[in-house]
Structure 1
Amino acid sequence: MDWSALLRMPMTVLLVLAAVFALITLAQLVVLRRHLHGRRRLAASWRALLCLLCFALTLLLGGTGAALRGYRLLGEEAPIVDIDARILSPQRWALTLSWPDGSTRQVQLAGDDWRIEAIVLKWKLPALLAGVPPLYRLDRLSGRYDDPVQETSAPRTVISFGEAGSFDLLRLGKKYPQWFPEIDTVYGSGAFLPLVDQGHYSVSLMRTGALVARPDEATEQRISHPLGG
């Protein structure tokens, strides 16, 4: 078998082929049973061999399709929030947060950078390969100073995304893990970038559970050349 060609095949094709060979296996089992009842041992032996071959192909194609699906999903990213920054005064910023559903929020931040954090729930391997995505909840947005000394003394800004009294599946999973046996881990993930005037940033969540923050091209230029040089 050409493994390189197999790995290049679309996941859906592999899973469809696996289902076809599963049906063929069932059909061969029915014929095998008839041969056994008719005491046709030679014919039954060939049918048994064919059943094993079809079943092996079913496992191979299905397993490869599931594995490829898992790896493809690990490389995908889900957009979380866009951030637009406007300077108010040195180390004081107005941010506009825009979510994919169209909702927005205006906040003010102190510092040289913005940092966003999320709580991520990952599933165990069988569920991950089956395509069950990680769950996440945005936790907070905060300001960050470049100078560690200033970080300990300057005003800090922390904006919470949580709602008091709201139902929280992630906390429930940590408190009662026996209710959710397929939960693998619950952990924090964060990302930060420098703040620049008229900056635009996009935050996404990878299938690995990592937050990724990216500036657009113009913002990246401003970060690289803060004085316009």
Structure 2
Amino acid sequence: MNPIELLRLPATALLVLAAVLLLLSLLQLLQLRRRLDAGARLAAAWHALLCVACFALAVLFGTGGWALRGYRLLGEETPVVDIDAHILSPQRWALTLSWPDGSTRQLDLAGDGWRVEAVVLKWKLPALLAGLPSLYRLDRIDGRYDDPMQEASAPRTVIGLGSADGFDLLDLRRQYPRALPMVDAVYGSGTFLPLVDGGHYSVSLSRSGALVARPDAATQQRISSPLGG
């Protein structure tokens, strides 16, 4: 990920702000020590108050930034990920996920089709009036078999795409709903698309939270004519 794309992530912005506030807190702590050594207790009390306030805000923004890892800003229709598929064996596939920022991930999937799901964070009042943009992150990708009997009995693949440690703003909202009353969540999921060898798919996300997956022209032709007819 290049530095410009990195700085556009909400988590990066909050973590940078937390670092600045932490530095300000340390500076206020140094001023507090100097004022105490000089016997200026009133000025020392003022620096102590600023030190505590900056430190509290640093913890708040740092926690928020850590919880928003993986989230990106959501526009009118935002490109989310490109997926390339290559067959390994019947109903076993190697997928390459490529994000707009240039990062990639390799994974194996079982089945005849695939689907991705996303989490979209929206805001309630008063955060909505403040103009906070909606955020999103991919949540999981899973496979499906065309045969219902096989779907019920064959090994299924569900791969999480969120943070590995489970520390996420959505998790915090579930555990402490009263502490985050301004956070709303909409789950976006697309329909299953057939997998074909050499297939290329583009996934985008609308502001409403709907995921749209589109195969390119060559992939669509293979889906429409699986036997090459």
Which TM-score tier does this pair reach, normalised by the shorter chain? 0.5 to 0.7
Q: Which aligned pairs between 1:159-178 and structure 2 lie closer than 5 A?
A: 159-178=159-178
**1:96 equivalent in structure 2:** 96
Larger helix share, 1 or 2 = 1
Specify whether residues 129 and 212 from structure 1 end up closer, same or farther in structure 2 by C-alpha distance, changes over 3 A only: farther
**1:120 equivalent in structure 2:** 120
* Structure 1 CA distance for aligned equivalents of residues 213 and 115 of structure 2: 9
* Structure 2 CA distance for aligned equivalents of residues 227 and 128 of structure 1: 51
Q: Is the 8 A contact 1:82 1:201 kept in 2?
A: yes
Q: Which aligned pairs between 1:12-27 and structure 2 lie closer than 5 A?
A: none
* Structure 1 CA distance for aligned equivalents of residues 130 and 91 of structure 2: 46
How far has the Cα of 1:126 moved from its partner? Answer: 6.9
Q: Which aligned pairs between 1:49-68 and structure 2 lie closer than 5 A?
A: none
Q: Which aligned pairs between 1:1-80 and structure 2 lie closer than 5 A?
A: 76-80=76-80
**2:143 equivalent in structure 1:** 143
**1:40 equivalent in structure 2:** none
Partner AA of 2:227 in structure 1:
L
**1:224 equivalent in structure 2:** 224
Specify whether residues 185 and 140 from structure 1 end up closer, same or farther in structure 2 by C-alpha distance, changes over 3 A only: closer
How far has the Cα of 1:128 moved from its partner? Answer: 5.3
Specify whether residues 104 and 125 from structure 1 end up closer, same or farther in structure 2 by C-alpha distance, changes over 3 A only: same
Partner AA of 2:220 in structure 1:
E
**2:107 equivalent in structure 1:** 107
* Structure 2 CA distance for aligned equivalents of residues 139 and 118 of structure 1: 5
**1:181 equivalent in structure 2:** 181
State the number of aligned residues.
Answer: 157
Partner AA of 2:205 in structure 1:
L
Q: Is the 8 A contact 1:114 1:195 kept in 2?
A: yes
How far has the Cα of 1:79 moved from its partner? Answer: 1.2
- Determine if the alignment matches structure 1 residue 156 to structure 2 residue 156: yes
How far has the Cα of 1:188 moved from its partner? Answer: 5.1
* Structure 1 CA distance for aligned equivalents of residues 162 and 184 of structure 2: 23
CA offsets 1:1-22 (integer angstroms, 9 cap, x no match): xxxxxxxxxxxxxxxxxxxxxx
**2:57 equivalent in structure 1:** none
* Structure 2 CA distance for aligned equivalents of residues 218 and 107 of structure 1: 22
Q: Is the 8 A contact 1:124 1:184 kept in 2?
A: yes
How far has the Cα of 1:182 moved from its partner? Answer: 2.5
TM-score normalised per structure 1? 0.61
Max Rg structure: 1
Q: Is the 8 A contact 1:112 1:145 kept in 2?
A: yes
**1:55 equivalent in structure 2:** none
Partner AA of 2:175 in structure 1:
K
SS of 2:189's equivalent? strand
* Structure 1 CA distance for aligned equivalents of residues 196 and 181 of structure 2: 44
Specify whether residues 176 and 212 from structure 1 end up closer, same or farther in structure 2 by C-alpha distance, changes over 3 A only: same
Q: Is the 8 A contact 1:141 1:159 kept in 2?
A: yes
**2:49 equivalent in structure 1:** none
* Structure 2 CA distance for aligned equivalents of residues 128 and 216 of structure 1: 36
How far has the Cα of 1:165 moved from its partner? Answer: 2.1
Specify whether residues 159 and 202 from structure 1 end up closer, same or farther in structure 2 by C-alpha distance, changes over 3 A only: same
* Structure 2 CA distance for aligned equivalents of residues 187 and 81 of structure 1: 17
* Structure 2 CA distance for aligned equivalents of residues 123 and 142 of structure 1: 28
How far has the Cα of 1:115 moved from its partner? Answer: 1.4
* Structure 1 CA distance for aligned equivalents of residues 141 and 95 of structure 2: 10
Indicate the percent of aligned positions where both proteins have the same amino acid: 77
TM-score normalised per structure 2? 0.61
Q: Name structure 1 gaps, 5 residues minimum.
A: 1-73
SS of 1:177's equivalent? coil
